[in-house]
Chains A and B, each alone.
Chain A
Amino acid sequence: MSTTVAQERVALTGNEAVALAMKQINPDVVAAYPITPQTDIVQYFSTFVADGKVKTEFVTVESEHSAMSCCIGSEAAGARTMTATSSQGLALMWEMLYIAAGFRLPIVMPVVNRALSAPINIHCDHSDSMGARDSGWIQLYSENAQEVYDNTIQAVRIAEHPDILLPVMVCQDGFVISHSLQNLQVLPDEEVARFVGEFTPRHPLLDVSQPVTYGALFLPDYYFEARRQIADAMGRAAPVIEQVGEEYARLTGRRYGLFEAHRLEDAEVAVVAINSAAGTARAVADSLRKQGVRAGVLRIRLFRPWPWREIAQALASAKAVAVMDRADGLCALGGPLYTEVRSALYDSSSRPALVNYIYGLGGRDVGLEDIEGIFRDLLHIKDEGGVAQPVTYLGLRE
């Protein structure tokens, strides 16, 4: 820890933490459209632009579809580019998300998770970013303001790594994290500038000495091969994310892996959680440990690519596992995180009993007692054997 740099301790909301990280990254271009609960990010960042605190060209656009289109053009031109969005805004970007990934443009986009319509709702759930999980974007999920700050800075290095060149979403929970004031440590501006370094684009459109065509038609003779390249980059990303995380840990003392394994070594019952609910789950596991229950929590940080081997290994000692999904897959088999964990465990020799809890849709709170109930269910499953009900809607009025 002696080699880490001096850091200021400040109180910031999740959105302020993202805006500060963006200011310190000082991207060449930001094209963004405000939407609740991401609005503060755009508002704070545009203030930095107006006050001359960044050299960024800030492009105001008429929609999120245009925001992502502008980001694609700008990143392809060779400019380090960022945007931010939530919910319907992410949904409106949909077709352009795939194009950003297909052109291998390392755009970084904070996503403030909010429920999708209908019915319209402005509060937190993960249906927005979970819906975009197969668009070719790397997805990092953040428990709190500290992590969303740290992830935003690391995302630049991950996205721009020459072996990867994929866009990255940095997710945090709308309002729960984006609007609550938290105590965190932030780096000096020059340390962030040094960490992210200069952007060296692979095939910049503005390099007239090496002309390049983006957006050519790939018919059945080439399309398949082009898509295979994206899958290959996704397959290479996890070790790079770990390597960037190690370098960041040496700088800050804060270490992030592919996921956080909390007291899983000997855990018999475990909860898999993502974003802010993981903190609540950890508190419940710690209190159950004091009562002699071998409880643990696996907190997802990286969802795309999906580190399935490592996750299966981390859950090896568990007899019963519950996956908490803040999005419903609407597929008759629970939420997206559940089906992914289920798939990860298929080849595991110690395959545990597995259940799913859909919770918190549209911003409904999840508390300690809710997660205590999950652990009680898991203990019952562990002792009695067999899963009577694979998917439970937690905190739903019957």
Chain B
Amino acid sequence: MTERKPGEPLGWREMPVGAVILEAGNATRYQTGDWRSLRPEWSQEKCIQCLFCWVYCPDAAIIVKDGKIAEFDFEHCKGCGICAQECPPKVKAIKMVPEEEVTEVS
């Protein structure tokens, strides 16, 4: 069998039969953050901690600590904008900004 470096993709003979994934919960290792063209910018000052964004985020990319939003996981956030959409209109604590306009990298 071919020698492989760690992290190198498997050859066809080494893969499980039937295009299945046998390891539970390994989706976290698939970093989808580089798909993003729009980045959510979150204002801690405006945020009322309703946690709607945390509930709706399809990628579990909003990190909550001690019952409050702490940060965004940009290794997995695809920039879909659902968090900004669900943020209550009177609050508007999340704004989607084109990646190329983001000067400050978090």
- Are B22 and A212 in contact (CB-based, < 8 A)? yes
- Are A229 and B22 in contact (CB-based, < 8 A)? no
- Are B24 and A211 in contact (CB-based, < 8 A)? yes
CB of A159 to closest CB in B, whole Å: 13
Enumerate A52-68 residues with CB–CB distance to B below 8 Å.
Answer: none
- Chain A residues whose C-beta falls within 8 Å of the C-beta of B10 in the assembled complex: 222, 225
CB of B33 to closest CB in A, whole Å: 16
The DSSP consensus for interface residues of chain A is: loop
Report the bound CA distance from A385 to B24 in whole Å.
Answer: 65
The DSSP consensus for interface residues of chain B is: loop
- Are A165 and B18 in contact (CB-based, < 8 A)? yes
Interface status of B67 (Cβ within 8 A of chain A): no
- Chain B residues whose C-beta falls within 8 Å of the C-beta of A133 in the assembled complex: none
Interface status of B70 (Cβ within 8 A of chain A): no
- Are B15 and A203 in contact (CB-based, < 8 A)? no
Look across to chain A and name the residue whose beta carbon is closest to the beta carbon of B18: A104
Across the interface, A203 reaches (CB within 8 A) one of B9, B11, B13, B16, namely: B16
Interface status of A330 (Cβ within 8 A of chain B): no
Q: Interface size on B (CB < 8 Å)?
A: 14
Given contacts A222-B9, A225-B11, A229-B12, whether A105 and B18 have CB atoms under 8 Å apart is: yes
- Chain B residues whose C-beta falls within 8 Å of the C-beta of A224 in the assembled complex: 12
CB of A183 to closest CB in B, whole Å: 41
CB of B24 to closest CB in A, whole Å: 4
- Chain A residues whose C-beta falls within 8 Å of the C-beta of B19 in the assembled complex: 102-104, 214, 216, 218, 226
Report the bound CA distance from A179 to B3 in whole Å.
Answer: 58
Chain B 1-28, CB within 8 Å of chain A: the 1/0 string? 0000000011111011111111010000
Chain A 120-132, CB within 8 Å of chain B: the 1/0 string? 0000000000000
Q: Interface size on A (CB < 8 Å)?
A: 22
- Chain B residues whose C-beta falls within 8 Å of the C-beta of A102 in the assembled complex: 18-19
- Are B15 and A225 in contact (CB-based, < 8 A)? yes
Chain A 255-272, CB within 8 Å of chain B: the 1/0 string? 000000000000000000
Given contacts A210-B22, A211-B24, A212-B22, whether A229 and B17 have CB atoms under 8 Å apart is: yes
Report the bound CA distance from A171 to B15 in whole Å.
Answer: 32
CB of B54 to closest CB in A, whole Å: 25
CB of A43 to closest CB in B, whole Å: 33
CB of A313 to closest CB in B, whole Å: 29
Chain A 211-249, CB within 8 Å of chain B: the 1/0 string? 111101010011011101100100000000000000000
- Are B12 and A103 in contact (CB-based, < 8 A)? no
A residues near B (Cβ < 8 Å) are 102-105, 165, 202-203, 210-214, 216, 218, 221-222, 224-226, 228-229, 232
Known: A104-B19, A212-B20, A213-B20. 4 other contacts (CB 8 A): A103-B20, A202-B17, A212-B21, A232-B12
Q: Which 10 A-B pairs have the closest CB atoms?
A: A225-B12, A104-B18, A213-B21, A228-B12, A211-B24, A226-B19, A103-B18, A212-B20, A203-B20, A104-B17
